[in-house]
């Protein structure tokens, strides 16, 4: 039996299901949670959530939030969250470029903090989007493998 995982943003419910293992970007590093984990409440960093169920692995980009862990359930309230296959790569590249340009102009401290966070979000989105492409290469569809 796995652990129930709910991932919601202010806009939508992104994930609701049972998984064998979920790894989350805690502020002190990536944490792995399975059924039976001790209860905890933690803030989340900008990072990747990885959901494992049997041989299936799903990748999600989150930009911070909170997680509540109970022995049978993980609830994530994320600021923003996108599945790997939903990420608009051109948009993330444009956001990365804007953040890089802004940081190169030596902005005042408050703007620097904002742009550093934008840079981390866009880099993360590009990383998570590339995982989708890796998975597609590793696991061709029936049609592709027959071609
Ligand atoms: P941008 O400058 O491109 O808006 P951002 O990092 O400022 O990027 P956020 O404020 O983190 O964007 O997110 C705003 C909304 O847009 C959220 O719903 C988020 O899920 C979505 N979003 C942001 N970037 C992307 C992307 N590259 N692909 C898909 N959805 C995205």
Q: Give domain status of residue 144, yes or no.
A: no
Strands 73-78 and 56-70: antiparallel
Decide: 41 and 7 in contact? Cβ < 8 Å.
no
User: Using one digit for the tens of pLDDT, what is the confidence trace for 136-147?
Assistant: 666 655 555 554
Question: At 52, is the secondary structure helix, strand, or coil?
Answer: strand
Q: How far is CA 10 from CA 56, 65, 77, 87, 136, in A?
A: 27, 11, 8, 18, 30
Q: What is the CATH number of the domain that holds 16?
A: 2.60.15.10
Are residues 101 and 78 both part of a single domain?
no
Are residues 80 and 92 both part of a single domain?
no
Domain that holds residue 44: 3-84
> For the chain, what is the domain count?
2
pTM of the model: 0.91
Residue 74 near ligand 1, beta carbon < 6 Å: no
Are residues 7 and 77 both part of a single domain?
yes
CA 81 to ligand 1 center in whole angstroms: 9
Closest atom, ligand 1, to C-alpha of 122: 6
CA 54 to ligand 1 center in whole angstroms: 30
Q: Give domain status of residue 146, yes or no.
A: no
112: tokens are 């620097």
Residue 84 near ligand 1, beta carbon < 6 Å: no
CA 29 to ligand 1 center in whole angstroms: 23
Are residues 108 and 70 both part of a single domain?
no
CA 15 to ligand 1 center in whole angstroms: 18
Closest atom, ligand 1, to C-alpha of 86: 29
Report, as an integer, the average pLDDT of 14-37: 96
Report, as an integer, the average pLDDT of 11-15: 97
User: Using one digit for the tens of pLDDT, what is the confidence trace for 49-86?
Assistant: 999 999 999 999 999 999 999 999 999 999 999 999 99
Are residues 80 and 118 both part of a single domain?
no
Are residues 75 and 92 both part of a single domain?
no
Q: Give domain status of residue 125, yes or no.
A: yes
Best residue among 12, 92, 93 to mutate for probing ligand 1, ranked by most atoms within 8 Å of CB: 92
Q: Give domain status of residue 147, yes or no.
A: no
The Cα–Cα gap between 37 and 83 comes to 25
Q: Please check the confidence at residue 43 and state whether its pLDDT lies above 50.
A: yes
Are residues 16 and 68 both part of a single domain?
yes
User: Using one digit for the tens of pLDDT, what is the confidence trace for 94-141?
Assistant: 999 999 999 999 999 999 999 999 999 999 999 999 998 666 666 655
Which helix H or strand E contains 3, and what residues bound it?
strand 3-8
The predicted structure's pLDDT at residue 46: 98
Are residues 76 and 94 both part of a single domain?
no
């Amino acid at each position: 039996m796995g652990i129930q995982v709910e991932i919601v943003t202010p806009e939508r419910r992104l994930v609701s299901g049972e998984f064998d293992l979920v790894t989350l970007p805690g502020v002190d590093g990536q944490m792995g949670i399975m059924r039976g984990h001790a209860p905890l409440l933690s803030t989340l960093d900008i990072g990747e959530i990885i959901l494992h169920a049997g041989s299936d692995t799903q990748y999600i980009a989150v930009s911070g939030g909170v997680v509540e862990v109970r022995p049978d359930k993980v609830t994530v309230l994320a600021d923003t969250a996108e599945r790997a296959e939903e990420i608009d790569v051109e948009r993330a590249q444009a956001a990365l470029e804007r953040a890089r340009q802004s940081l190169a102009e030596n902005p005042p401290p408050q703007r620097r903090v904002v742009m550093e966070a934008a840079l981390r979000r866009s880099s993360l989105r590009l990383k998570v989007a590339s995982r989708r492409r890796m998975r597609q290469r590793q696991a061709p569809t029936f049609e592709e493998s027959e071609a």
